[in-house]
Structure formats: structure tokens, C-alpha cells
């Protein structure tokens, strides 16, 4: 607000605070902003690393998929533009640069040090391999900077963000004591006298009304511009909203708040959440908050507080409202697991209790034979429920949790893909709500090399289609060439004789 911007600012810390934003794209309940709120000047920085977007990566995939695709890039660029405007409105701003984070942050800090001002750099701690590698590179680059006489060396400092339960309230060391199975983790977190209602969740902090100003040496060149998708090596046309999408998901804190209001309060959809959460192709069935959570447009604590407000206002406090809390706990579990297992989260043999499992190597899908993988990715396997899901994913960047499990199981168990990581990398490239811990943890779970004592999950995709899309409406929306088939023929279309199919205008290729 204008009044807040005009009010005098009295710092208590003489340093310039440089805040490295990553999955922190909001003002409300943001520990990173609070970490710089007492500085003499504040410079938040967001860096688009080209290696994380349009360039194919050899690190995690056999098949040359890009790291981040157009749908997620459109979401993130919108969120960055919004948070930049929000920071400006409370007296600060946001530098937006494209490049290697270590080089960019070292350049920014060097400019500030040239003015003779002490600088501290703060980020939210991450635990997945590429994020940790980036932190190490940034720390090394900062340590190599020459500081003026009397100015201490610049170190990368961390705050904790991104989980429902704060690290300090966890009650155990996640690096050494994270339970290996989610059920054990959930029971531990709910093990206090309050049970489900006794979770250690801090109340969300409000958005700041005033922040320290930008350093005086900051100019338009240093602030930069939010890149276009073309700048990131991506085709903007590929991010166009498909009219069949269940929800037009837009990046930013305002859109996250609007989704909470319209879905949970106005639509009253939390009331039936446990029953509807596996629905496909519907706006109301699931919360669809994952993209905003993954990018930090909303905090888990804010979602949790909204659930509690809903319960208080409606008197509904049952398995339906709990299930959204359950999903927030699941999200936390994957993050703590990533901290505990380190790079083995991305290993072929995984990180679970059955890491010796080597039967992938005996499967019939050669690493150089991409035909079946390509058919899976394109939604052209001939299995209607799977194809519908993969086409929705390609067109929108979204897929329901139930369908994610089905298409992953199909790739691993039915197509015999020898390296589950190829599927995980495809999801990384296509999902709007991609989050490394959850994505790779879930794929390892389906492959039987993650946090699951049962040694893998195999889904009967024919049966699942009949259960979760009984009338075939979702499947026919995305596989319109089968629109005339009745459900009895739809789910096992490969077994229907050609004459019957021809009567419905269907010819199998």
C-alpha cells in the first residue's frame, strides 16, 4: 500500500540482504522474506537457469526429454511476474535474471560489495540432488569473492521453508531418523495426545506490509526482465490452454488464494473430498493445489489453516477434511525422505528396503528401443484409460494422482520399461506441479524401489478405467476416436472383434 511505502524504514541490521528465491513465490507466510526484513536494504533475486528448462538433460533420462516444459514455464513466469509486482508494492522489488545461479548471484553480490556494504545471501534449504548441487555452486562462488577491507566474507545462509511441519518442530533428525514408510511417519506425526488434531503446525504468517528498499546501486539492468518462453528455449504455443482442461491453472499467489476460496469455500468441495479425490477430468473432484504448492505460491501451512477454518465454519470435521491434511503429510514425507536418502532417490535401484532388486535388467524393453516409450508418452498405446491420461498430461501439464499411478504402472509393468527413471523424467518435463521429491519418490514407489514395503505397485488399468471413469466420459474426451463405443467395449477395445468396432466407426491401427 502507498501508506506503507511512504512510511520511514528503520533497519536493525546494517547488511544488504540478498534473497535467492526458488520455490518461494509468495509474500504471505514466507520465512525467506522475514529473514531479510531487518536489513538496511533488500534485494530478492530469482534466477531462471537455462539448464532447468528447454535443454535436454542427460542426467536423468534415456530419452532426451527437456527438464522443464512449456506448461510449467508459463506457470512459473506468471508467478515470478506477480511476486515482483507484490514486492514492489511493499517497498522492495525483484531482480530476475537468466543464467547459471552461481554466476548470477556472484555478479549481483560483487556489485553490492563494490559499494563497501556488508552483504548476506539467504535461501530456503532444499535437499534434492540438483538443488543441493546448485547451493554448493552458489556457496563456492560467493566464497571466492573479494570483499573490501572490514567487510566479512559472504556466505550462503539458509532458512527452513516448504513443509507443513517446521524442521525445528519435527521431533527427529530427518537426515538419520526419517521413517522408511509413510504410515510409520504419519503415525509418528499424529502420535501426540491430539492424534490427527495434534499435528505440530505453526500458524501462517501474514504478508509483509513493508520491506526494506532496494540497494541504491540497483538499476534496471541489474533488475532484468521476466523471460519469455522463447528465451528459455520453449515454444509458447505449447503452453496454450486446452479447452478440455479441467482447470486453467495460472501461476501466482492470487490464483492460489482464489482456488482455495472457490474450491473449498464457495464450492464446498472439501465436504466430499475423500470420495471425489480420484476423479479424472473434473474441476471439483480434487483440490489441484499442487502446482501452487510446488512453486511456493502458497504454503502448506496456509492450506492447513484454510482447512481448519472450513471445519470451524461448517462443522464438518471428518475423513473428507482430514484427507487433504493427509496429502499435505504425504508431501512432507517425500521431502524428509529426500533429505534422508540423498542422491539414491534418483538411483535405478532406488532407496527402499528392496534396493537389491535387479529384475528391471531382465525385461524385454531395450534402452535403445524407444518405440513403446514414445507411444506411451504420446497416448498411443491402445489402452484407452492410459492413452487418455497421457494425452491430458501432454495437453495441459496435469494428471490426477490416480492416473499418474496407472500410467506409471503401465510403463513399468506392462510395457516393461527397464528404467523407471525415464518415466519420472517425462513427468518432470511435462507436469505443471513438478516437485522433485514427490515426483521421483512416487515413481520409485510404483517401481518397488522406494518407500514401500510391498515391492512395487501394479495397477490393472482396464479395471481402473471402469472404476474411476465408469461411463467413459473422461476417456472419450481425450480419446475421441473411441467416443461411439459403449463402456462394455471401451475398456477392452483390443479384444472386440473388428466387425463390431466397425459398426461404431472404430478401426484399430
223, with CB counted inside 10 A (0-12, 13-18, 19+), is middle
Residue 255: Cβ-neighbour burial (10 angstroms; 0-12, 13-18, 19+): buried
The DSSP 8-state label assigned to residue 497 in this structure reads -
| Alpha helices, DSSP H, located in 315-358 | 319-341
Any bridge partners for residue 21, and if so which? 46
How far apart are the C-alpha atoms of 90 and 42, rounded to whole Å? 12
3-state SS class at 53:
coil
- Who's near 456: CB < 8 A, 6+ residues apart? 412, 413, 446, 447, 448, 449
Instruction: Write the DSSP assignment of 251-276 as a string of letters.
Output: -SHHHHHHHIIIIIIIS-GGGGHHHH
CA dihedral of 28, 33, 37, 41, whole degrees rounded to 10: -130
In this structure, are residues 30 and 80 in contact, taking their beta carbons and an 8 Å threshold?
no
Whether 310 has a binding-site annotation, put simply, is no
Residue with cell 528401443: 369
Taking a C-beta distance cutoff of 8 angstroms, is the pair 360, 420 a contact? Answer: yes
Number of Cβ within a 10 Å radius of residue 364? 10
Q: Residue 124's beta-bridge partner residues?
A: 159
Length of the chain: 509
What whole-number distance in Å separates Cα of residue 201 and Cα of residue 163? 9
Start-to-end CA span in the chain (Å): 61
Q: Is the dihedral of CA 189, 192, 195, 196 positive or negative?
A: negative
Q: What kind and span of H or E run contains 422?
A: helix 420-430
| Separation of alpha carbons 66 and 198, rounded Å | 42
Can you say which residues are annotated as belonging to the binding site for FAD? 273
Binding site feature residues = 273
Amino acid at each position: 500500500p502507498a501508506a506503507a511505502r511512504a512510511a520511514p524504514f528503520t533497519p536493525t541490521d546494517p547488511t544488504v540482504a540478498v534473497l535467492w528465491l526458488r520455490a518461494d513465490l509468495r509474500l504471505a507466510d514466507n520465512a525467506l522474506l522475514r529473514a531479510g526484513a531487518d536489513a538496511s536494504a533488500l534485494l530478492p533475486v530469482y534466477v531462471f537457469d537455462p539448464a532447468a528448462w528447454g535443454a535436454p538433460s542427460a542426467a536423468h533420462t534415456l530419452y532426451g526429454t527437456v527438464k522443464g516444459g512449456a506448461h510449467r514455464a508459463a506457470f512459473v513466469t506468471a508467478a515470478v511476474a506477480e511476486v515482483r509486482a507484490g514486492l514492489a508494492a511493499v517497498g522492495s522489488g525483484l531482480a530476475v535474471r537468466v543464467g547459471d545461479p552461481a554466476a548470477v548471484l556472484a555478479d549481483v553480490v560483487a556489485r553490492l560489495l563494490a559499494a563497501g556494504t556488508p552483504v548476506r545471501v539467504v535461501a530456503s534449504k532444499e535437499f534434492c540432488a540438483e538443488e543441493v548441487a546448485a547451493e554448493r555452486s552458489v556457496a563456492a562462488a560467493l566464497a571466492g569473492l573479494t570483499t573490501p577491507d572490514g567487510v566479512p566474507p559472504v556466505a550462503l545462509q539458509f532458512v527452513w521453508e516448504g513443509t507443513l511441519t517446521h524442521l525445528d518442530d519435527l521431533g527427529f533428525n530427518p537426515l538419520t531418523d526419517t521413517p522408511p514408510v509413510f504410515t510409520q511417519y504419519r503415525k509418528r506425526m499424529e502420535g501426540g495426545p491430539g492424534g490427527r488434531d495434534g499435528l505440530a503446525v505453526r500458524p501462517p504468517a501474514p504478508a509483509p506490509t513493508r520491506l526494506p528498499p532496494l540497494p541504491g546501486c540497483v538499476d534496471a539492468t541489474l533488475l532484468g526482465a521476466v523471460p519469455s518462453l522463447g528465451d528459455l528455449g520453449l515454444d509458447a504455443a505449447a503452453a496454450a490452454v486446452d479447452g478440455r482442461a479441467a482447470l486453467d491453472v495460472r501461476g501466482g499467489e492470487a490464483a492460489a488464494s482464489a482456488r482455495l476460496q472457490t474450491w473449498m469455500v464457495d464450492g464446498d468441495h472439501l465436504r466430499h473430498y475423500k470420495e471425489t479425490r480420484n476423479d479424472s477430468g473434473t474441476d471439483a473432484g480434487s483440490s489441484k493445489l499442487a502446482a501452487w504448492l510446488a512453486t511456493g505460491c502458497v504454503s502448506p501451512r496456509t492450506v492447513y489453516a484454510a482447512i481448519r477454518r472450513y471445519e470451524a465454519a461448517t462443522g464438518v470435521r471428518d475423513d473428507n477434511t482430514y484427507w487433504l491434511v493427509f496429502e499435505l503429510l504425504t508431501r512432507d514425507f517425500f521431502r524428509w525422505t529426500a533429505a534422508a536418502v540423498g542422491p539414491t532417490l534418483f538411483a535405478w535401484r532406488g532407496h527402499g528396503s528392496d534396493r537389491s532388486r535387479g529384475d528391471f535388467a531382465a525385461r524385454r524393453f531395450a534402452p535403445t528401443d524407444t518405440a513403446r516409450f514414445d507411444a506411451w508418452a504420446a497416448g498411443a498405446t491402445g489402452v484407452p484409460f492410459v492413452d487418455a491420461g497421457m494425452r491430458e498430461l501432454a495437453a495441459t501439464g496435469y494428471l490426477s494422482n490416480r492416473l499418474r499411478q496407472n500410467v506409471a504402472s503401465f510403463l513399468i509393468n506392462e510395457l516393461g520399461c527397464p528404467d523407471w527413471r525415464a518415466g519420472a523424467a517425462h513427468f518432470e518435463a511435462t507436469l505443471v506441479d513438478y516437485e522433485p521429491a514427490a515426483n521421483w519418490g512416487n515413481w520409485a514407489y510404483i517401481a518397488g524401489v522406494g518407500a514401500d514395503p510391498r515391492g512395487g505397485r501394479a495397477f490393472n488399468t482396464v479395471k481402473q478405467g471402469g472404476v474411476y471413469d465408469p461411463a467413459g466420459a473422461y476417456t472419450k474426451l481425450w480419446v475421441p476416436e473411441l467416443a461411439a463405443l459403449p463402456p462394455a467395449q471401451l475398456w477392452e477395445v483390443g479384444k472386440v472383434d473388428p466387425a463390431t468396432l466397425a459398426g461404431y466407426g472404430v478401426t484399430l491401427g
